[in-house]
Amino acid sequence: MAMIAPPAMARILLCFFVLARVCASTGSQPSVDDGQSFFDVIEYGAVGDGRTDDTKAFKKAWTDACKSSVSMPIMHVPQNKTCLLQPLVLRGPCNSQNLTIQIDGTLVASGDPSAWKCDKKDCRHWIMISDVDGLSVLGSGAINGNGSEWWDHSLCHHHHVGCGKKPTGLVIDKCNEVRLSELTFKDSPQMHIAIEGSTRVTAANLTITSPGHSPNTDGIHIQRSQHVLVRDCYIGTGDDCISIGQGSAHLDISGISCGPGHGVSIGSLGKHGSRETVEDVHVRDVHFVGTSNGVRIKTWQGGKGYARDIVFERITISNSSHPIIIDQFYCDHEHCKNQTSAVQISNVTYSQVNGTSHAKAAVELACSETHPCRDILMKDITLNLTVKGKETTSHCSNVRGRRNSNIFPNISCLEEDEDL
Ligand SMILES: *[C@@H]1O[C@H](CO)[C@@H](O)[C@H](O)[C@H]1NC(C)=O
Ligand SMILES: *[C@@H]1O[C@H](CO)[C@@H](O)[C@H](O)[C@H]1NC(C)=O
Ligand SMILES: *[C@@H]1O[C@H](CO)[C@@H](O)[C@H](O)[C@H]1NC(C)=O
Ligand SMILES: *[C@@H]1O[C@H](CO)[C@@H](O)[C@H](O)[C@H]1NC(C)=O
Ligand SMILES: *[C@@H]1O[C@H](CO)[C@@H](O)[C@H](O)[C@H]1NC(C)=O
Ligand SMILES: *[C@@H]1O[C@H](CO)[C@@H](O)[C@H](O)[C@H]1NC(C)=O
Ligand SMILES: *[C@@H]1O[C@H](CO)[C@@H](O)[C@H](O)[C@H]1NC(C)=O
Ligand SMILES: *[C@@H]1O[C@H](CO)[C@@H](O)[C@H](O)[C@H]1NC(C)=O
Ligand SMILES: *[C@@H]1O[C@H](CO)[C@@H](O)[C@H](O)[C@H]1NC(C)=O
Ligand SMILES: *[C@@H]1O[C@H](CO)[C@@H](O)[C@H](O)[C@H]1NC(C)=O
Protein backbone atom coordinates (compact mmCIF):
# COMPACT_ATOMS: atom_id res chain seq x y z
CA MET A 1 0.00 0.00 0.00
CA ALA A 2 2.76 2.42 0.93
CA MET A 3 4.33 1.64 -2.44
CA ILE A 4 1.48 3.09 -4.50
CA ALA A 5 0.55 5.98 -2.22
CA PRO A 6 2.54 9.23 -2.41
CA PRO A 7 4.71 9.77 0.68
CA ALA A 8 2.24 12.11 2.46
CA MET A 9 -0.59 9.68 1.93
CA ALA A 10 1.55 6.85 3.19
CA ARG A 11 2.25 8.79 6.34
CA ILE A 12 -1.46 9.45 6.97
CA LEU A 13 -2.24 5.78 6.41
CA LEU A 14 0.56 4.84 8.75
CA CYS A 15 -0.78 7.14 11.48
CA PHE A 16 -4.12 5.43 11.08
CA PHE A 17 -2.53 2.02 11.40
CA VAL A 18 -0.58 3.01 14.47
CA LEU A 19 -3.66 4.47 16.17
CA ALA A 20 -5.75 1.45 15.19
CA ARG A 21 -3.06 -0.79 16.66
CA VAL A 22 -2.91 1.10 19.93
CA CYS A 23 -6.73 1.15 20.22
CA ALA A 24 -6.96 -2.54 19.43
CA SER A 25 -4.30 -3.50 21.91
CA THR A 26 -5.58 -1.44 24.83
CA GLY A 27 -9.27 -1.71 23.97
CA SER A 28 -9.80 1.83 25.26
CA GLN A 29 -8.38 5.31 24.71
CA PRO A 30 -5.29 5.40 22.49
CA SER A 31 -2.62 5.58 25.14
CA VAL A 32 -0.65 8.41 23.63
CA ASP A 33 0.80 9.63 26.89
CA ASP A 34 2.76 6.47 27.69
CA GLY A 35 4.73 7.36 24.57
CA GLN A 36 4.51 3.95 22.89
CA SER A 37 4.02 3.59 19.17
CA PHE A 38 4.24 0.41 17.15
CA PHE A 39 6.02 0.27 13.82
CA ASP A 40 4.86 -3.13 12.63
CA VAL A 41 6.92 -4.48 9.73
CA ILE A 42 3.82 -6.14 8.24
CA GLU A 43 2.14 -2.74 8.00
CA TYR A 44 5.23 -1.55 6.15
CA GLY A 45 4.78 -4.25 3.53
CA ALA A 46 6.63 -7.24 4.94
CA VAL A 47 4.98 -10.48 3.79
CA GLY A 48 6.38 -12.75 6.46
CA ASP A 49 6.06 -15.98 4.49
CA GLY A 50 9.75 -16.89 4.79
CA ARG A 51 10.19 -16.68 0.98
CA THR A 52 9.54 -13.06 0.02
CA ASP A 53 12.39 -10.65 0.62
CA ASP A 54 11.17 -8.39 3.43
CA THR A 55 14.32 -6.27 3.71
CA LYS A 56 12.74 -3.08 2.26
CA ALA A 57 9.86 -3.15 4.72
CA PHE A 58 12.32 -3.51 7.62
CA LYS A 59 14.32 -0.53 6.38
CA LYS A 60 11.19 1.62 6.12
CA ALA A 61 9.85 0.58 9.53
CA TRP A 62 13.27 1.28 11.06
CA THR A 63 13.56 4.70 9.40
CA ASP A 64 10.20 5.75 10.83
CA ALA A 65 10.80 4.25 14.28
CA CYS A 66 14.21 5.89 14.42
CA LYS A 67 12.89 9.31 13.33
CA SER A 68 9.83 9.09 15.55
CA SER A 69 9.49 11.73 18.23
CA VAL A 70 7.41 9.57 20.59
CA SER A 71 9.37 8.51 23.65
CA MET A 72 9.05 4.73 23.13
CA PRO A 73 8.90 3.69 19.49
CA ILE A 74 8.60 -0.08 19.04
CA MET A 75 9.54 -1.72 15.75
CA HIS A 76 7.60 -4.96 15.79
CA VAL A 77 7.92 -8.31 14.03
CA PRO A 78 4.70 -10.12 14.92
CA GLN A 79 4.34 -13.70 16.05
CA ASN A 80 3.92 -16.44 13.42
CA LYS A 81 5.59 -14.36 10.69
CA THR A 82 8.89 -15.49 9.17
CA CYS A 83 10.70 -12.65 7.47
CA LEU A 84 13.44 -13.40 4.94
CA LEU A 85 16.10 -10.72 5.19
CA GLN A 86 19.13 -9.76 3.14
CA PRO A 87 22.07 -8.07 4.90
CA LEU A 88 20.62 -5.07 6.64
CA VAL A 89 21.99 -2.08 8.55
CA LEU A 90 19.75 -0.33 11.06
CA ARG A 91 21.61 2.91 11.63
CA GLY A 92 21.10 5.67 14.16
CA PRO A 93 21.34 8.09 15.74
CA CYS A 94 17.63 8.02 16.53
CA ASN A 95 15.34 10.56 18.13
CA SER A 96 14.24 8.44 21.07
CA GLN A 97 16.62 7.21 23.74
CA ASN A 98 14.26 4.32 24.34
CA LEU A 99 13.75 2.48 21.11
CA THR A 100 12.65 -1.17 21.06
CA ILE A 101 12.91 -3.80 18.38
CA GLN A 102 10.46 -6.47 19.43
CA ILE A 103 10.84 -9.72 17.53
CA ASP A 104 8.07 -12.21 18.24
CA GLY A 105 8.28 -13.83 14.81
CA THR A 106 11.31 -15.29 13.05
CA LEU A 107 13.99 -13.58 10.99
CA VAL A 108 15.64 -15.91 8.51
CA ALA A 109 18.51 -15.50 6.06
CA SER A 110 18.80 -17.17 2.70
CA GLY A 111 20.36 -20.59 3.03
CA ASP A 112 22.23 -20.16 -0.25
CA PRO A 113 25.40 -18.07 0.26
CA SER A 114 25.44 -17.02 -3.40
CA ALA A 115 21.98 -15.47 -2.97
CA TRP A 116 23.23 -13.08 -0.28
CA LYS A 117 23.20 -9.52 -1.58
CA CYS A 118 26.48 -8.31 -0.24
CA ASP A 119 29.97 -7.67 -1.48
CA LYS A 120 31.26 -11.23 -1.73
CA LYS A 121 34.64 -10.22 -0.42
CA ASP A 122 33.19 -8.38 2.53
CA CYS A 123 30.08 -10.12 3.72
CA ARG A 124 30.73 -9.23 7.33
CA HIS A 125 27.30 -9.09 8.82
CA TRP A 126 23.73 -10.11 8.31
CA ILE A 127 21.98 -7.64 10.61
CA MET A 128 23.93 -4.71 11.99
CA ILE A 129 22.63 -2.09 14.40
CA SER A 130 24.90 0.91 14.45
CA ASP A 131 25.15 4.24 16.33
CA VAL A 132 22.06 3.86 18.51
CA ASP A 133 21.86 5.03 22.14
CA GLY A 134 19.10 3.48 24.25
CA LEU A 135 17.89 0.33 22.53
CA SER A 136 16.13 -2.89 23.53
CA VAL A 137 16.11 -5.89 21.21
CA LEU A 138 13.78 -8.49 22.68
CA GLY A 139 10.87 -10.80 22.08
CA SER A 140 9.84 -14.42 22.01
CA GLY A 141 11.09 -14.82 18.43
CA ALA A 142 14.09 -16.30 16.70
CA ILE A 143 16.94 -15.04 14.54
CA ASN A 144 17.94 -17.85 12.20
CA GLY A 145 21.09 -17.27 10.13
CA ASN A 146 20.38 -20.49 8.22
CA GLY A 147 24.15 -20.79 7.79
CA SER A 148 24.79 -24.50 7.18
CA GLU A 149 25.98 -23.94 3.60
CA TRP A 150 28.44 -21.28 4.74
CA TRP A 151 30.03 -23.82 7.10
CA ASP A 152 31.16 -26.02 4.23
CA HIS A 153 34.89 -25.45 3.72
CA SER A 154 34.72 -26.38 0.05
CA LEU A 155 32.68 -23.22 -0.59
CA CYS A 156 35.89 -21.35 -1.19
CA HIS A 157 36.64 -23.32 -4.34
CA HIS A 158 33.16 -23.46 -5.77
CA HIS A 159 31.41 -20.15 -5.30
CA HIS A 160 34.13 -17.65 -4.43
CA VAL A 161 32.16 -16.82 -1.33
CA GLY A 162 32.81 -17.82 2.21
CA CYS A 163 36.57 -17.63 1.75
CA GLY A 164 37.17 -14.40 3.61
CA LYS A 165 34.98 -13.05 6.35
CA LYS A 166 31.71 -14.85 6.75
CA PRO A 167 28.78 -12.86 8.04
CA THR A 168 28.07 -12.45 11.75
CA GLY A 169 24.38 -12.88 12.62
CA LEU A 170 23.78 -9.70 14.63
CA VAL A 171 26.34 -6.94 15.13
CA ILE A 172 25.78 -4.29 17.79
CA ASP A 173 28.16 -1.60 16.58
CA LYS A 174 28.97 1.69 18.33
CA CYS A 175 25.85 1.63 20.49
CA ASN A 176 25.31 2.57 24.14
CA GLU A 177 22.69 1.41 26.65
CA VAL A 178 21.59 -1.72 24.80
CA ARG A 179 19.50 -4.57 26.21
CA LEU A 180 19.24 -7.85 24.34
CA SER A 181 16.87 -10.34 25.91
CA GLU A 182 14.74 -13.44 25.55
CA LEU A 183 15.48 -14.07 21.86
CA THR A 184 16.71 -17.31 20.30
CA PHE A 185 19.66 -17.17 17.88
CA LYS A 186 20.36 -20.10 15.62
CA ASP A 187 22.74 -21.35 12.93
CA SER A 188 24.60 -18.18 12.08
CA PRO A 189 27.05 -18.39 9.12
CA GLN A 190 29.77 -17.24 11.53
CA MET A 191 29.54 -15.60 15.00
CA HIS A 192 25.99 -15.26 16.29
CA ILE A 193 26.24 -11.95 18.15
CA ALA A 194 29.10 -9.45 18.08
CA ILE A 195 29.19 -6.50 20.44
CA GLU A 196 31.72 -4.01 19.08
CA GLY A 197 32.72 -0.50 20.07
CA SER A 198 29.78 -0.29 22.46
CA THR A 199 29.21 0.49 26.13
CA ARG A 200 26.65 -0.53 28.74
CA VAL A 201 25.26 -3.56 26.93
CA THR A 202 23.19 -6.24 28.68
CA ALA A 203 22.49 -9.60 27.08
CA ALA A 204 20.17 -11.76 29.16
CA ASN A 205 18.04 -14.86 28.82
CA LEU A 206 19.23 -15.58 25.31
CA THR A 207 19.35 -19.02 23.73
CA ILE A 208 22.06 -19.42 21.11
CA THR A 209 22.50 -22.70 19.26
CA SER A 210 24.28 -24.19 16.29
CA PRO A 211 25.79 -27.66 15.81
CA GLY A 212 29.09 -28.51 17.51
CA HIS A 213 30.72 -28.98 14.08
CA SER A 214 29.81 -25.53 12.70
CA PRO A 215 33.07 -23.55 12.34
CA ASN A 216 33.64 -20.13 13.94
CA THR A 217 30.09 -19.84 15.19
CA ASP A 218 30.94 -18.13 18.51
CA GLY A 219 27.87 -17.40 20.62
CA ILE A 220 28.66 -13.87 21.81
CA HIS A 221 31.83 -12.02 20.82
CA ILE A 222 32.76 -8.87 22.72
CA GLN A 223 35.31 -6.43 21.32
CA ARG A 224 36.34 -2.81 22.02
CA SER A 225 33.41 -2.65 24.43
CA GLN A 226 33.07 -1.75 28.09
CA HIS A 227 30.50 -2.44 30.79
CA VAL A 228 28.99 -5.48 29.16
CA LEU A 229 26.82 -7.78 31.22
CA VAL A 230 25.89 -11.25 29.99
CA ARG A 231 23.65 -13.32 32.20
CA ASP A 232 21.41 -16.34 32.19
CA CYS A 233 22.08 -17.54 28.67
CA TYR A 234 22.09 -20.99 27.18
CA ILE A 235 24.80 -21.24 24.52
CA GLY A 236 25.79 -24.29 22.48
CA THR A 237 27.76 -23.72 19.28
CA GLY A 238 30.76 -24.87 17.22
CA ASP A 239 33.20 -22.31 18.66
CA ASP A 240 33.56 -20.21 21.83
CA CYS A 241 30.31 -19.78 23.75
CA ILE A 242 31.63 -16.35 24.70
CA SER A 243 34.79 -14.83 23.27
CA ILE A 244 36.38 -11.70 24.65
CA GLY A 245 38.60 -9.73 22.31
CA GLN A 246 40.73 -6.62 22.18
CA GLY A 247 39.61 -3.54 24.09
CA SER A 248 37.13 -5.30 26.36
CA ALA A 249 36.88 -4.03 29.94
CA HIS A 250 34.46 -4.24 32.83
CA LEU A 251 32.62 -7.38 31.78
CA ASP A 252 30.31 -9.32 34.05
CA ILE A 253 29.36 -12.77 32.79
CA SER A 254 27.21 -15.08 34.90
CA GLY A 255 24.67 -17.86 34.82
CA ILE A 256 25.82 -19.35 31.53
CA SER A 257 25.26 -22.88 30.37
CA CYS A 258 27.84 -23.66 27.68
CA GLY A 259 28.12 -26.69 25.42
CA PRO A 260 28.81 -27.92 22.90
CA GLY A 261 31.52 -25.40 22.09
CA HIS A 262 35.01 -24.21 22.89
CA GLY A 263 34.18 -22.68 26.26
CA VAL A 264 34.66 -19.09 27.42
CA SER A 265 37.78 -17.54 25.91
CA ILE A 266 39.73 -14.38 26.42
CA GLY A 267 41.65 -13.75 23.21
CA SER A 268 43.32 -14.54 21.06
CA LEU A 269 45.20 -11.32 21.78
CA GLY A 270 48.29 -9.84 20.16
CA LYS A 271 48.14 -11.23 16.64
CA HIS A 272 50.72 -9.76 14.20
CA GLY A 273 52.54 -8.03 17.05
CA SER A 274 49.59 -5.81 17.91
CA ARG A 275 49.07 -4.19 21.31
CA GLU A 276 45.82 -5.47 22.75
CA THR A 277 44.28 -5.21 26.20
CA VAL A 278 41.53 -6.86 28.21
CA GLU A 279 40.82 -6.03 31.84
CA ASP A 280 38.34 -6.43 34.66
CA VAL A 281 36.46 -9.51 33.56
CA HIS A 282 34.30 -11.53 35.98
CA VAL A 283 33.04 -14.91 34.85
CA ARG A 284 30.95 -16.75 37.44
CA ASP A 285 28.36 -19.48 37.76
CA VAL A 286 29.12 -21.04 34.43
CA HIS A 287 28.32 -24.64 33.68
CA PHE A 288 30.29 -26.29 30.87
CA VAL A 289 29.09 -29.57 29.38
CA GLY A 290 31.19 -31.44 26.83
CA THR A 291 33.17 -28.40 25.70
CA SER A 292 36.70 -28.62 24.29
CA ASN A 293 37.92 -25.95 26.72
CA GLY A 294 36.48 -24.56 29.91
CA VAL A 295 37.99 -21.20 30.82
CA ARG A 296 40.76 -20.18 28.42
CA ILE A 297 43.12 -17.27 27.91
CA LYS A 298 45.04 -17.33 24.63
CA THR A 299 47.59 -14.92 23.21
CA TRP A 300 49.88 -14.90 20.18
CA GLN A 301 53.63 -14.66 20.51
CA GLY A 302 55.04 -11.25 19.62
CA GLY A 303 52.04 -9.30 20.88
CA LYS A 304 52.00 -6.46 23.38
CA GLY A 305 49.50 -5.19 25.94
CA TYR A 306 47.86 -7.14 28.73
CA ALA A 307 45.06 -9.36 30.01
CA ARG A 308 44.58 -8.63 33.71
CA ASP A 309 42.22 -8.47 36.66
CA ILE A 310 40.24 -11.52 35.65
CA VAL A 311 38.15 -13.74 37.93
CA PHE A 312 36.67 -17.15 37.09
CA GLU A 313 34.55 -18.42 39.96
CA ARG A 314 31.93 -21.06 40.71
CA ILE A 315 32.59 -22.94 37.51
CA THR A 316 31.42 -26.50 36.95
CA ILE A 317 32.83 -28.53 34.11
CA SER A 318 31.67 -31.80 32.70
CA ASN A 319 34.05 -33.76 30.45
CA SER A 320 35.98 -30.85 28.96
CA SER A 321 39.34 -31.54 27.25
CA HIS A 322 41.05 -28.47 28.70
CA PRO A 323 39.13 -27.25 31.74
CA ILE A 324 41.66 -24.54 32.69
CA ILE A 325 44.09 -23.29 30.09
CA ILE A 326 46.39 -20.33 29.51
CA ASP A 327 48.10 -20.54 26.14
CA GLN A 328 50.59 -17.80 25.32
CA PHE A 329 51.75 -19.72 22.24
CA TYR A 330 48.45 -19.62 20.40
CA CYS A 331 48.91 -20.33 16.72
CA ASP A 332 46.15 -21.29 14.30
CA HIS A 333 48.52 -22.44 11.57
CA GLU A 334 51.51 -24.79 11.61
CA HIS A 335 54.53 -22.58 12.10
CA CYS A 336 54.56 -19.65 14.45
CA LYS A 337 58.05 -18.32 15.20
CA ASN A 338 59.10 -17.99 18.82
CA GLN A 339 59.27 -14.33 19.75
CA THR A 340 60.28 -12.41 22.82
CA SER A 341 57.45 -9.92 23.28
CA ALA A 342 54.12 -11.11 24.67
CA VAL A 343 50.81 -9.94 26.03
CA GLN A 344 51.29 -9.73 29.83
CA ILE A 345 48.86 -11.88 31.80
CA SER A 346 48.40 -10.97 35.46
CA ASN A 347 46.00 -11.08 38.38
CA VAL A 348 43.87 -14.01 37.27
CA THR A 349 41.86 -15.82 39.94
CA TYR A 350 40.30 -19.25 39.62
CA SER A 351 38.02 -20.08 42.51
CA GLN A 352 35.61 -22.98 43.07
CA VAL A 353 36.21 -24.74 39.80
CA ASN A 354 35.15 -28.37 39.83
CA GLY A 355 34.13 -31.19 37.60
CA THR A 356 35.63 -33.62 35.13
CA SER A 357 38.27 -33.50 32.44
CA HIS A 358 38.45 -35.69 29.36
CA ALA A 359 42.22 -35.14 29.11
CA LYS A 360 44.72 -36.07 31.80
CA ALA A 361 46.26 -32.58 31.89
CA ALA A 362 43.29 -30.78 33.38
CA VAL A 363 45.21 -27.59 34.11
CA GLU A 364 47.63 -26.17 31.53
CA LEU A 365 49.36 -22.87 32.10
CA ALA A 366 51.85 -22.14 29.29
CA CYS A 367 53.18 -18.64 29.77
CA SER A 368 55.82 -16.57 28.02
CA GLU A 369 59.45 -16.91 29.13
CA THR A 370 60.06 -13.19 28.85
CA HIS A 371 56.69 -12.15 30.32
CA PRO A 372 55.76 -14.83 32.85
CA CYS A 373 52.16 -14.89 34.08
CA ARG A 374 51.96 -13.05 37.40
CA ASP A 375 49.56 -13.24 40.34
CA ILE A 376 47.77 -16.37 39.20
CA LEU A 377 45.60 -17.36 42.16
CA MET A 378 43.87 -20.72 42.57
CA LYS A 379 41.41 -21.59 45.26
CA ASP A 380 39.24 -24.68 45.80
CA ILE A 381 39.66 -26.57 42.56
CA THR A 382 38.81 -30.22 41.92
CA LEU A 383 39.13 -31.61 38.43
CA ASN A 384 38.88 -35.38 38.09
CA LEU A 385 39.13 -37.50 34.98
CA THR A 386 35.82 -38.28 33.30
CA VAL A 387 36.82 -41.92 33.14
CA LYS A 388 37.64 -43.00 36.68
CA GLY A 389 40.90 -44.78 37.40
CA LYS A 390 43.74 -42.38 36.72
CA GLU A 391 44.47 -39.01 38.25
CA THR A 392 44.55 -35.70 36.43
CA THR A 393 47.75 -33.67 36.19
CA SER A 394 48.75 -30.04 35.70
CA HIS A 395 51.44 -28.45 33.52
CA CYS A 396 52.88 -25.06 34.01
CA SER A 397 55.69 -23.00 32.62
CA ASN A 398 56.69 -19.47 33.58
CA VAL A 399 53.87 -18.97 36.06
CA ARG A 400 54.01 -17.07 39.34
CA GLY A 401 51.22 -17.08 41.83
CA ARG A 402 49.59 -18.69 44.83
CA ARG A 403 47.08 -21.36 45.69
CA ASN A 404 45.35 -22.74 48.73
CA SER A 405 45.73 -26.43 49.66
CA ASN A 406 42.32 -27.49 48.33
CA ILE A 407 43.52 -28.00 44.77
CA PHE A 408 43.35 -31.18 42.75
CA PRO A 409 45.39 -31.83 40.61
CA ASN A 410 48.26 -30.33 42.57
CA ILE A 411 49.72 -27.27 40.85
CA SER A 412 53.32 -27.29 41.94
CA CYS A 413 54.36 -23.99 40.30
CA LEU A 414 52.10 -22.00 42.63
CA GLU A 415 53.15 -21.14 46.15
CA GLU A 416 50.91 -22.48 48.85
CA ASP A 417 49.10 -19.76 50.79
CA GLU A 418 46.12 -20.51 53.02
CA ASP A 419 45.19 -16.83 53.32
CA LEU A 420 43.84 -16.46 49.81
C1 LIG B 1 0.27 -17.89 16.28
O2 LIG B 1 -0.02 -19.26 16.04
C3 LIG B 1 -0.49 -19.95 17.19
C4 LIG B 1 -0.64 -21.41 16.83
O5 LIG B 1 -1.26 -21.54 15.58
C6 LIG B 1 -1.81 -19.31 17.66
O7 LIG B 1 -2.27 -19.96 18.82
C8 LIG B 1 -1.56 -17.84 17.97
O9 LIG B 1 -2.77 -17.20 18.29
C10 LIG B 1 -0.95 -17.13 16.75
N11 LIG B 1 -0.60 -15.78 17.16
C12 LIG B 1 -0.90 -14.71 16.43
C13 LIG B 1 -0.47 -13.39 16.97
O14 LIG B 1 -1.48 -14.78 15.37
C1 LIG C 1 12.30 3.25 28.68
O2 LIG C 1 11.02 2.65 28.85
C3 LIG C 1 10.92 1.76 29.95
C4 LIG C 1 9.57 1.09 29.94
O5 LIG C 1 8.54 2.01 29.99
C6 LIG C 1 11.15 2.56 31.23
O7 LIG C 1 11.11 1.68 32.33
C8 LIG C 1 12.52 3.21 31.15
O9 LIG C 1 12.71 4.03 32.27
C10 LIG C 1 12.65 4.07 29.90
N11 LIG C 1 14.02 4.53 29.79
C12 LIG C 1 14.33 5.76 29.39
C13 LIG C 1 15.80 6.08 29.31
O14 LIG C 1 13.50 6.59 29.10
C1 LIG D 1 17.38 -22.22 4.83
O2 LIG D 1 17.86 -22.22 3.52
C3 LIG D 1 17.42 -23.32 2.74
C4 LIG D 1 18.14 -23.26 1.42
O5 LIG D 1 17.96 -22.02 0.82
C6 LIG D 1 15.90 -23.26 2.60
O7 LIG D 1 15.44 -24.34 1.86
C8 LIG D 1 15.31 -23.27 4.00
O9 LIG D 1 13.92 -23.14 3.91
C10 LIG D 1 15.88 -22.19 4.85
N11 LIG D 1 15.44 -22.33 6.23
C12 LIG D 1 14.50 -21.60 6.76
C13 LIG D 1 14.18 -21.88 8.19
O14 LIG D 1 13.95 -20.74 6.13
C1 LIG E 1 15.17 -13.32 32.52
O2 LIG E 1 14.18 -14.30 32.78
C3 LIG E 1 13.81 -14.36 34.15
C4 LIG E 1 12.88 -15.54 34.34
O5 LIG E 1 11.96 -15.61 33.30
C6 LIG E 1 13.18 -13.01 34.55
O7 LIG E 1 12.84 -13.02 35.91
C8 LIG E 1 14.18 -11.89 34.28
O9 LIG E 1 13.58 -10.63 34.53
C10 LIG E 1 14.68 -11.91 32.84
N11 LIG E 1 15.74 -10.94 32.70
C12 LIG E 1 15.79 -10.07 31.72
C13 LIG E 1 16.88 -9.07 31.75
O14 LIG E 1 14.98 -10.06 30.80
C1 LIG F 1 42.75 -8.15 40.64
O2 LIG F 1 41.55 -8.24 39.87
C3 LIG F 1 40.37 -8.06 40.63
C4 LIG F 1 39.19 -8.34 39.70
O5 LIG F 1 39.13 -7.42 38.65
C6 LIG F 1 40.35 -6.67 41.23
O7 LIG F 1 39.21 -6.53 42.04
C8 LIG F 1 41.60 -6.47 42.08
O9 LIG F 1 41.63 -5.14 42.54
C10 LIG F 1 42.84 -6.76 41.25
N11 LIG F 1 44.00 -6.71 42.13
C12 LIG F 1 45.03 -5.94 41.89
C13 LIG F 1 46.15 -6.03 42.86
O14 LIG F 1 45.08 -5.19 40.93
C1 LIG G 1 31.27 -27.71 42.70
O2 LIG G 1 30.94 -26.35 42.52
C3 LIG G 1 29.60 -26.05 42.81
C4 LIG G 1 29.37 -24.61 42.44
O5 LIG G 1 30.37 -23.76 42.96
C6 LIG G 1 29.33 -26.33 44.28
O7 LIG G 1 27.98 -26.07 44.56
C8 LIG G 1 29.62 -27.79 44.55
O9 LIG G 1 29.48 -28.04 45.92
C10 LIG G 1 31.03 -28.13 44.13
N11 LIG G 1 31.23 -29.57 44.22
C12 LIG G 1 32.34 -30.10 44.68
C13 LIG G 1 32.40 -31.60 44.71
O14 LIG G 1 33.28 -29.43 45.06
C1 LIG H 1 33.91 -37.08 26.85
O2 LIG H 1 34.41 -36.36 25.73
C3 LIG H 1 35.03 -37.18 24.78
C4 LIG H 1 35.68 -36.28 23.74
O5 LIG H 1 34.83 -35.29 23.33
C6 LIG H 1 34.02 -38.14 24.20
O7 LIG H 1 34.65 -38.98 23.24
C8 LIG H 1 33.43 -38.98 25.33
O9 LIG H 1 32.42 -39.80 24.84
C10 LIG H 1 32.87 -38.09 26.42
N11 LIG H 1 32.50 -38.88 27.55
C12 LIG H 1 31.36 -38.70 28.22
C13 LIG H 1 31.13 -39.61 29.39
O14 LIG H 1 30.55 -37.85 27.90
C1 LIG I 1 59.57 -22.16 21.15
O2 LIG I 1 59.32 -22.05 22.54
C3 LIG I 1 58.73 -23.21 23.11
C4 LIG I 1 58.37 -22.92 24.56
O5 LIG I 1 59.43 -22.31 25.23
C6 LIG I 1 59.69 -24.38 22.95
O7 LIG I 1 59.10 -25.55 23.49
C8 LIG I 1 60.00 -24.57 21.49
O9 LIG I 1 60.95 -25.58 21.34
C10 LIG I 1 60.51 -23.30 20.84
N11 LIG I 1 60.59 -23.48 19.41
C12 LIG I 1 61.60 -23.00 18.69
C13 LIG I 1 61.50 -23.24 17.22
O14 LIG I 1 62.52 -22.39 19.19
C1 LIG J 1 36.99 -36.23 42.50
O2 LIG J 1 37.52 -37.43 43.00
C3 LIG J 1 37.60 -37.45 44.40
C4 LIG J 1 38.37 -38.69 44.82
O5 LIG J 1 38.03 -39.76 44.00
C6 LIG J 1 36.20 -37.41 44.98
O7 LIG J 1 36.23 -37.42 46.37
C8 LIG J 1 35.52 -36.13 44.50
O9 LIG J 1 34.17 -36.06 44.90
C10 LIG J 1 35.58 -36.00 42.99
N11 LIG J 1 35.12 -34.67 42.64
C12 LIG J 1 34.35 -34.40 41.59
C13 LIG J 1 33.99 -32.97 41.37
O14 LIG J 1 33.96 -35.26 40.82
C1 LIG K 1 52.05 -30.26 45.69
O2 LIG K 1 53.25 -29.91 45.04
C3 LIG K 1 54.18 -29.28 45.93
C4 LIG K 1 55.38 -28.84 45.12
O5 LIG K 1 55.87 -29.90 44.32
C6 LIG K 1 54.55 -30.27 47.07
O7 LIG K 1 55.42 -29.63 47.96
C8 LIG K 1 53.27 -30.67 47.78
O9 LIG K 1 53.55 -31.66 48.76
C10 LIG K 1 52.25 -31.24 46.81
N11 LIG K 1 50.99 -31.44 47.49
C12 LIG K 1 50.35 -32.58 47.42
C13 LIG K 1 49.07 -32.65 48.18
O14 LIG K 1 50.75 -33.51 46.75
Q: What is the CATH number of the domain that holds 311?
A: 2.160.20.10
Residue 153 reports pLDDT greater than 80: no
pLDDT at 123: 83
Q: Which of 57-61, 111-115, 251-255 has the lowest mean pLDDT?
A: 111-115
**Ligand 4 near 207 CB (within 6 A):** no
**Ligand 5 near 346 CB (within 6 A):** no
- Band of pLDDT at residue 42, cut at 50, 70 and 90: very high
Read off the pTM: 0.90
Q: Which of 65-79, 139-153, 329-343 has the lowest mean pLDDT?
A: 329-343
Pick the more confident residue, 53 or 17: 53
- Average pLDDT, integer, range 7-19: 42
Residue 15 reports pLDDT greater than 50: no
Are 202 and 272 in a shared domain?
no
Are 214 and 280 in a shared domain?
no
User: Which residue has the CA at smallest separation from atom 3 of ligand 4?
Assistant: 205
Atom of ligand 9 nearest to the CA of 355: 13
Integer Cα distance of 228 and 416 in angstroms: 34
- Ligand 5 geometric centre to CA of 348 (Å): 8
pLDDT at 28: 31
Q: Which of 150-164, 242-256, 303-317, 367-381 has the lowest mean pLDDT?
A: 150-164
Residue 17 reports pLDDT greater than 80: no
**Ligand 5 near 347 CB (within 6 A):** yes
Residue 306 reports pLDDT greater than 90: yes
pLDDT at 341: 93
Tell me the residue range of the domain where 61 lies.
Answer: 33-239
Q: Residue 283: nearest ligand to its CA?
A: 5
Is the Cα torsion angle 350, 351, 354, 360 positive or negative in sign? positive
Are 226 and 262 in a shared domain?
no
Residue at a domain's end among 205, 239, 273: 239
Are 257 and 181 in a shared domain?
no
331 belongs to a structural domain: yes
26 belongs to a structural domain: no
pLDDT at 336: 85
Residue 27 reports pLDDT greater than 60: no
Are 341 and 261 in a shared domain?
yes
> Does 262 qualify as catalytic in the annotation?
yes
Residue 158 reports pLDDT greater than 90: no
- Average pLDDT, integer, range 222-232: 98
pLDDT at 122: 65
- Average pLDDT, integer, range 226-242: 98
pLDDT at 293: 97
- Band of pLDDT at residue 34, cut at 50, 70 and 90: low
pLDDT at 420: 84
417 belongs to a structural domain: yes
Are 304 and 403 in a shared domain?
yes
Are 287 and 170 in a shared domain?
no
How many domains would you assign to the chain?
2
Q: What is the mean pLDDT of the chain?
A: 90
